[in-house]
């Protein structure tokens, strides 16, 4: 389908919220409406589409809304997500290209396709993280398997995550707002820590990479930051576990005692500087590297990931540091563990994120209508320059899995954090 044939587009948002979500949704809708193209907002991600039954049509107001210009007043800077979100995944059963032609494995994708067709949708815009990008790619590939006579909806994806660990784009919308929100909390905690000569170990969101932890630590004047990228050298190890069925699995772990020792050394250095307090930041993803003995009873999701929030690694590490400090010095030092993150996801968006989100939203219009593209992710770089990244460069063509963008060890961003934290000799 060419861009000129698009008369109605559908937009949906999936996964966790992010500041400036409405800047993306609202600006995209505004662009299409001004061109005389109808805009349907699918409510709560794929959750109302994944079990579609032709005998029970989608209901306007419950399953979707027809977005109008009046709906977009003061939208760009508003909090929350005007069309809601959910984590339903219609591509869950598809892990290889051949699964797309398996009627059972591809059935949820088929139901989503039929649901959108039932309300006359000509193109799909998905907004979400890497899992949602994978689903968008599968929606595009699924349609490629349909008979030549079947209607095809171009699919474009708009990248979203406060974790900022997305390949193909410099910064994702909401990242800087979330980092600033957490940094504000950390700056407040610094005063609390100074008053009581204590420490706070703040666990920031970021399962796969440390962008949010690092950004918040730099802006929040933390005395140390650690993330999954820092599990290298002497703190990195391996552990072999024998499963219930007798099979053995080897996994990468971090040596907790060496990390704890490094933190205690930092505390002692700060005492010599007459700074017997501070805020440390760790990325929640470090929980994936905990030795097995720390993970007893922690559930795993469908992807095999542990429930990082349940691991509560910030509190765990705080307790270990307090014990090690007393063993080293004979003195007590209060060390508090805190989980931070959820409260930042719908914070009032900053101007940068509003501008970035707005350009990404406009990118959806330009990709579909001006460029007549299909199967691309909208990217912004430089002076808010738009580019369109093909799905096949972001998703492994065999496994259909996306790649995580880590902070590069030794990069200038990584070194920035090292320059401004309390230095600990190796």
Locate the domains of the chain by residue range. Answer: 3-172+349-393, 176-346
User: In angstroms, rounded to a whole number, what is the distance separating the alpha carbons of residues 40 and 389?
Assistant: 24
Model confidence pLDDT, tens digit, residues 327-379: 999 999 999 999 998 889 999 999 999 999 999 999 999 999 999 999 999 99
Q: Is 367 helix (H, G, I), strand (E, B) or coil?
A: helix
User: In angstroms, rounded to a whole number, what is the distance separating the alpha carbons of residues 188 and 199?
Assistant: 12
- Give how far Cα 279 sits from Cα of 219, 267, 333, Å: 12, 11, 13
Model confidence pLDDT, tens digit, residues 213-254: 999 999 999 999 999 999 999 999 998 887 777 788 888 999
| 187 and 222 Cβ atoms separated by less than 8 Å | no
Q: Is 10 helix (H, G, I), strand (E, B) or coil?
A: strand
Does this model's pTM top 0.85? My answer is: yes
Residue 288, pLDDT score: 87
Q: Which CATH class is domain 176-346?
A: alpha beta
Read off the pLDDT band of 50 (50, 70, 90): very high
Instruction: Calculate Rg over the CA atoms of the chain.
Output: 23
Residue 286, pLDDT score: 92
CATH code of the domain made up of 3-172+349-393 = 3.40.50.450
| 12 and 48 Cβ atoms separated by less than 8 Å | no
| 318 and 202 Cβ atoms separated by less than 8 Å | no
What share of the chain in percent tops pLDDT 90? Answer: 84
User: In angstroms, rounded to a whole number, what is the distance separating the alpha carbons of residues 417 and 284?
Assistant: 18
Task: State residue 281 phi and psi, 5-degree precision.
Answer: -120, 130
Q: Give 388's strand partners.
A: 378
Length of the chain: 426
Q: Which residue has the higher pLDDT, 208 or 282?
A: 282
pLDDT at 32 over 60: yes
pLDDT at 302 over 60: no
- Token pair listed for 14: 């999936």
**Across 47-51, 235-239, 302-306, 364-368, least confident range:** 302-306
Mean of the pLDDT values across residues 301-323?
Answer: 79
Q: Which helix (H) or strand (E) covers residue 327, if one does? A: helix 313-329
Place of tokens 């966790």: 16
Same fold? 3-172+349-393, 176-346: yes
**Across 7-11, 92-96, 294-298, least confident range:** 294-298
Mean of the pLDDT values across residues 169-195?
Answer: 96
pLDDT at 303 over 60: no
Q: What is the DSSP letter of 229?
A: G
Model confidence pLDDT, tens digit, residues 412-421: 999 999 999 9
């Amino acid at each position: 389908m060419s861009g000129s044939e698009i008369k109605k587009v559908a937009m949906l948002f999936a996964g966790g919220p992010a500041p400036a979500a409405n800047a993306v949704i609202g600006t995209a809708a505004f662009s299409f409406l001004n061109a005389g193209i109808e805009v349907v907002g699918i409510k709560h991600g794929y959750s109302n589409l994944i079990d579609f039954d032709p005998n029970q049509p989608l209901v306007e107001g419950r399953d979707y809304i027809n977005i109008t210009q009046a709906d977009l007043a003061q939208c760009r800077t508003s909090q929350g997500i005007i069309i809601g979100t959910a984590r339903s995944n219609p591509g869950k059963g598809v892990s290889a290209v051949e699964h797309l032609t398996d009627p059972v494995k591809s059935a949820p994708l088929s139901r989503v396709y039929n649901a959108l067709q039932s309300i006359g949708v000509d193109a799909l815009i998905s907004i979400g993280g890497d899992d949602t990008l994978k689903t968008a790619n599968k929606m595009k590939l699924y349609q490629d398997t349909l008979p030549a006579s079947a209607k095809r909806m171009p699919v474009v994806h708009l990248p979203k995550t406060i974790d900022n660990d997305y390949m193909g784009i410099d910064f994702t919308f909401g990242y800087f707002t979330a980092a600033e929100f957490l940094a504000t909390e950390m700056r407040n905690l610094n005063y609390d820590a100074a008053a009581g000569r204590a420490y706070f170990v703040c666990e920031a969101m970021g399962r796969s990479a440390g962008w949010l932890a690092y950004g918040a630590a730099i802006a929040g004047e933390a005395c140390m930051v650690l993330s999954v990228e820092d599990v290298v050298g002497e703190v990195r190890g391996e552990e072999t576990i024998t499963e219930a069925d007798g099979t053995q699995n080897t996994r990468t772990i971090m040596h907790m005692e060496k990390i704890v020792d490094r933190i205690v050394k930092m505390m002692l250095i700060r005492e010599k500087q007459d700074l017997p307090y501070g805020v440390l930041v760790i990325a929640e993803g470090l929980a994936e590297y905990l030795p097995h003995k720390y993970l007893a009873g922690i559930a795993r999701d469908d992807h095999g990931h542990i429930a990082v929030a349940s691991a509560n690694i910030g509190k765990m590490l705080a307790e270990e540091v307090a014990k090690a400090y007393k063993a080293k010095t004979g003195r007590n030092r209060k060390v508090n563990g805190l989980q931070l993150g959820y409260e930042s996801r719908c914070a009032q968006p900053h101007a940068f994120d509003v501008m970035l989100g707005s350009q990404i939203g406009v990118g959806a219009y330009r990709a579909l209508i001006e460029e007549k593209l299909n199967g691309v992710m909208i990217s912004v770089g430089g002076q808010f320059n738009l580019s369109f990244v093909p799905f096949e460069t972001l998703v492994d063509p065999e496994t259909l899995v996306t790649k995580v963008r880590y902070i590069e060890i030794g990069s200038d961003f990584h070194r920035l954090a090292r320059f401004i934290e309390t230095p600990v000799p190796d």
